[in-house]
Amino acid sequence: MSTTTAKTDAVASEPSVPSTPSDRRERDRMRRRLARRRGGGWWPYLFLAPWFVGLFGLTIYPMLDSLYLSFTDFDLLTPAQWTGTDNYERMFTDDPVFWDSVHATLVYVVVSVPLKLALALAVAMLLNRDLKGIGLYRAAFYLPSLLGGAVAIAIVWRQVFGGDGLFNDFLAWFGIEGQDWISSPDTALYTLVLLAVWQFGTPMVIFLAGLKQLPKDVYEAAAIDGASPVTRFFRITLPLLTPIVFFNVVLQIIDAFKTFTPAFVISNGSGGPLNSTMLYSLYLYKKGFTDLQMGYASALAWVLFLVIAGFTAVNFIAGRYWVHYDD
């Protein structure tokens, strides 16, 4: 701190001291040393290299490649020929199945995301208390999400909602004669929605973490003022939780747009009946790998990219009006 004795001992970090040329040199040296210590130079990049290889080799390059392919007639088997914007034009003007898949996907997103998040929040509220063995309950509620992405569970779903499935057996107890829910074009998509909603574990865990962080004193004050539990939920919990709701909404919408496995397994790869379960990713897969129209599939992928990016941008903009950060 003190700069009393020797003149040569001038310390650079004291701006009030008038600077001489030697002072300035000293200061530059210090700055360089500091910069090195903070991580300047190329060393960090060396350590990041494996990740960069992955990013460029497995993500950026294939993405650019697919952008190129989306303007070609690539069929997986023979070299790609440039066809300009043909693929994009065909999508919007001459492909009824594309619109079927857009319809199915939008219904799926719009119905499944709110239901899933509402259920996740409700269960998170239930689990946010100090009970004996609460960890066990949490694990039990999270379990479906661990199984959820798996092919096995989709196969089980197929069985449960099939014509002679468990669900109809259950309905039979009440004298209701069920139908084959998977094979009817009016209900098949909703079995997928149900499967998605059932896998509420991930947003639930995130909600739970958020609920645990909420300040207790606000609740105490509200309780003293006589606020009912409902009021407390809508006036305190929900507003304080909006950043987490926002995070979950963004994540779940993206996830829902990209859903593939359950639709593929439950419809046996067909997207049927009558394209009612032809989720966008499934259609993309079918075009690329079954119908050998990889160029068209790439175009579909880029349209999906733009749509999801658009939805996310809208989310972020809308978020300014309803998300409250407490900092």
Partner 1 sequence: MGHQISRRTLFRTASGLAVVGGLGGALSACGGGTGAGSTSSELTMTWWGSDDRHAAYKKALASFQKDNPKVKIRETYSGYDGYFDKFNTNIAGGSAPDLLQMDTALVAQYARKGVLAPLDSYVGKSLDLTGFSKTLLAAGTVDGKLYGVPSGIGVNQLTVNRSGLEDLGLKLPDREWTWADLRKISQDVYKKSGGKIHGVDDVGGGSLQAFEIYAREHGETFFSEDGKNVGFSPETLQRWWEYWAEMRKLNACPPPAITSAAHNDLTKNAVVIGKALFTFDIGVYGAGGSVTDAQLDFLPSPQGDWSGAREGNYVNGGVLLSATKSSKRVGDSVKIMSFFAQDETAIKAMQLFRGIPPTEKARDLIASGLSETDKLNMEMADYISKRVSAASDALPTPPAPPQGADQIWDLLFQSNLAIAFGKKSIKAQLGEFFDQAAGILGG
User: Residue numbers of the site for partner 1 (CB under 8 A)?
Assistant: 58-59, 61-66, 69, 75-79, 94, 96, 162-164, 179-180, 182-185, 243-244, 246-247, 250-251, 254-255, 258, 268-270, 272-275, 281, 284, 288-292, 294, 297-298, 301-302, 304-305, 308-309, 312, 316, 325-327
**Smallest separation, CB 26 to partner 1 (Å):** 22
**Looking at beta carbons only, is 194 or 245 nearer to partner 1?**
245
**Looking at beta carbons only, is 153 or 293 nearer to partner 1?**
293
**Smallest separation, CB 1 to partner 1 (Å):** 17
**Looking at beta carbons only, is 55 or 131 nearer to partner 1?**
55
- DSSP for 204-256 reads HHHHHHHHHHS-HHHHHHHHHTT--HHHHIIIIIHHHHHHHHHHHHHHHHHHH
Place of tokens 């149900």: 194
Closest CA to 162 of 179, 138, 141, 145: 179
**Looking at beta carbons only, is 23 or 255 nearer to partner 1?**
255
- And the tokens for 35? 């910069």
Whole-angstrom distance, CA of residue 311 vs CA of residue 327: 26
Which whole-number Å values give the CA distances from 219 to 187, 266, 286, in the listed order?
Answer: 43, 46, 53
Closest CA to 109 of 254, 261, 206: 254
**Smallest separation, CB 133 to partner 1 (Å):** 31
Q: Which residues contact 67 (CB under 8 A, 6 or more apart)?
A: 298, 302
**Looking at beta carbons only, is 127 or 252 nearer to partner 1?**
252
**Smallest separation, CB 166 to partner 1 (Å):** 16
Closest CA to 208 of 126, 144, 146: 126
**Smallest separation, CB 246 to partner 1 (Å):** 7
**Looking at beta carbons only, is 230 or 317 nearer to partner 1?**
317
Closest CA to 250 of 322, 171, 320, 308: 308
**Smallest separation, CB 178 to partner 1 (Å):** 11
